[in-house]
Amino acid sequence: MAEGRYRVFVYGTLLTGEENHEVVAPYVRAVCSGKVNGRLYNVGPYPALVLGEEGEVEGEWLTVTEEGLKAMDELEDYVEGRSNNEYERVWVRDACKPIEGYVYVYLPEKAAGFPLIPSGSWRRMKKT
């Protein structure tokens, strides 16, 4: 990975063509499809990913500049080391490809009570 470039797995409103993609679009240097192991929950206007052995979540790997990572941190209200982040930014590997990078996740206890998105796809859920 080039210096100052980061891979981030996105699975909801930051996907290409979705409502928050414009936040990161100026900083995107590459995009490829991907999947991670876990479950996707419907939190209302956006989804939440809980990593785990069960299920696969569809999304995209965005390669972004440092400014892009900062813009995503701001959108996700993530501050490194803060104990009350809505999302945590963690390292993850793709379920099928030799790709790894960051992803924003919910803790399982936070996702409890929200409906599961059985398909693992935010886009497919929105179409129904």
Q: In this structure, are residues 8 and 64 in contact, taking their beta carbons and an 8 Å threshold?
A: yes
CA 16 to chain centroid: 12
DSSP for 59-105, written as a single string: EEEEEEEHHHHHHHHHHTT--TT-TT-SSEEEEEE-SSSS-EEEEEE
Catalytically active residues are 76
